[in-house]
Structure 1
Amino acid sequence: MLKRILGKTGNNIQIEPDFWCDYGYQIEVGENFYANHDLVILDTGGVRFGNNIFIAPFCGFHTSGHPIDFERRNQGLEYAYPICVGDNVWFGAGVQVMPGVTIGSNVVIGAGSIVVKDIPSDSVAFGNPCKTIRKITDDDRQSNWSR
């Protein structure tokens, strides 16, 4: 069913219920895509995920937004900018990614983060707003639960 809804998929994908999207056909996922419960992808602007993506529960990817000024917002105007995610990315629980964001490869986004700006490859990022905290290093391969 997912392969019929989504625009492009790898062979190994799994999305736990509940899953919500605007269209579906504007979502591309690579190989080894896993999303835990309660995923929302508002894909009006298109969302592209690379390979080896792990998404924890209650995450959202939102390509649409509305004008800040109430006159245009009350007219029903909105915009949509694409979201692009590289390979080997892990999103902690409750992460929200906003319109127009690009997230590089080999990235960990900490739980509860609101991602409003691009995140470079090979980094750990978290917060509201989400910021790159540090690079992922060889030392990270030597430990399991470091901070």
Structure 2
Amino acid sequence: MFTDDQPRSRFELSAFTAQGYERGRGVGWQLAWLLVSGVVVRSWWCPGRLRIAVLRSFGARIGRGCVIRHRVRIHWPWKLTVGDGSWIGEGAWILNLEDVTIGSNTCVSQEVLLCTGSHDRLARDFRFDNGPIAIGDGVWIACRSTVLRGCTIGDRAVVGAHSLVRSDVASGQVVYGCGP
């Protein structure tokens, strides 16, 4: 409760319900993934082939010849598609509340964040404003870059280190910093 002399918040966070967000699997499946992910998939000792096999068993669609390093965090593997020959570097975080598609021969470097989730800053209940991420073939997303929800990165594009991508990147385009 606010008194007249206290500023009012823009949001009523207690009204947040996650309405419209579909996790894609039941609670038991989600809990199993969180356990296996934390104990096996992200561990340094887990061989790459086993890591990929476990991800596939939880619904990830991963092509041939992919490399997924340790400490990679994948929120929901059943919302992930990776093409042939792609690499996902150590410490990358794929926060895929919605689908993330990574093309073939694409490099997602160390500590990159692919974030499909957001909130509607104008909504009092701070409801979700999520969107998928699509990354084309032959793309390089350099270390510690962030790609935000709803973005498409075209084939052969390059996203420079420490960049923030908040809108689509055209095929063959090179972006760095806070672009486009």
TM-score band (shorter)?
A: 0.7 to 0.9
Identical aligned residues as a percent: 25
Tell me which amino acid in the other structure corresponds to 1:64.
G
Deviation, structure 1 residue 2: 2.9
Other-structure match for 2:86: 33
1:85 corresponds to 2:138:
no
Taking structure 1 as the reference length, what is the TM-score of the superposition? 0.81
**Structure 1: how far apart are the matches of 2:172 and 2:59?**
28
SS at structure 2 position matched to 1:94: coil
Residues matched between the structures, number = 127
Other-structure match for 1:96: 146
User: Residue 8 of structure 1 contacts residue 29 of structure 1 at CA under 8 Å; is this kept in 2?
Assistant: yes
Aligned pairs (5 A) from 1:1-147: 1-69=54-122, 71-73=124-126, 77-128=127-178, 130-131=179-180
CA RMSD of aligned residues (A): 1.4
User: Residue 6 of structure 1 contacts residue 28 of structure 1 at CA under 8 Å; is this kept in 2?
Assistant: no
User: Residue 101 of structure 2 contacts residue 135 of structure 2 at CA under 8 Å; is this kept in 1?
Assistant: yes
Q: Which has the higher strand share?
A: 1
Other-structure match for 1:138: none
Deviation, structure 1 residue 56: 1.4
**Structure 1: how far apart are the matches of 2:102 and 2:114?**
11
**Structure 2: how far apart are the matches of 1:6 and 1:53?**
20
Alpha-carbon displacement from aligned partner over 1:87-131 (angstroms, at most 9, x marks no partner):
000011111000000000011110000100100001211111x23
Segments of 5+ residues of structure 1 without an aligned counterpart are 132-147
SS at structure 2 position matched to 1:25: helix
Segments of 5+ residues of structure 2 without an aligned counterpart are 1-53
**Structure 2: how far apart are the matches of 1:32 and 1:5?**
20
Tell me which amino acid in the other structure corresponds to 2:129.
Y
Q: Which has the higher helix share?
A: 2
Taking structure 2 as the reference length, what is the TM-score of the superposition? 0.67
Deviation, structure 1 residue 7: 2.4
